Amino acid sequence: MSSGTAAGPRTSGWVSFVMAYLAVGGVLNLAWGASALANRKNFAEGELVWLNLDTWGAIALLMGLFQLGGAALVWTRKPAAPAIVAFIAFLALMVNFMSIGAYPLWSAVLLALDALILWAATVHSDQFD
């Protein structure tokens, strides 16, 4: 909810929330991807439903870069940011869901993070202006 005051418009912290959590999610996905590619013994590759750990590591790295790019979009307050960020969060949600077998706890944390980002970007999209 925005309300104008003599000092200027006030907004809630949802835009900052989305930007910060998207950046955190991006860094975590970069760490997950790099770890999956470099240190295979920490993951249960046999539990993956689809593809192998190398592929999921590369996908996580790309997803992390997309998320950091989305955070930059929110930072610059681009008009299309809510829609793009919601799509990025949805993709990240799917990636973490599909790779949950390799490292369940880490993927569950990222699932919750991505769900919060998706919720905030869609429900509070009017505050991105």
Instruction: Give me the tens of pLDDT residue by residue for the chain, a chain 129 residues long.
Output: 445 555 444 456 888 888 999 999 899 889 888 887 887 666 666 666 667 778 888 888 999 999 999 999 988 888 888 999 999 999 989 888 887 777 788 888 889 988 998 999 899 888 877
Radius of gyration of the chain (CA): 16
Provide the residue type at 93 as one letter. Answer: L
Interatomic CA distance for residues 76 and 78, integer angstroms: 6
**Whether the model pTM is above 0.85:** no
The secondary structure element, H or E, covering residue 129 is: none
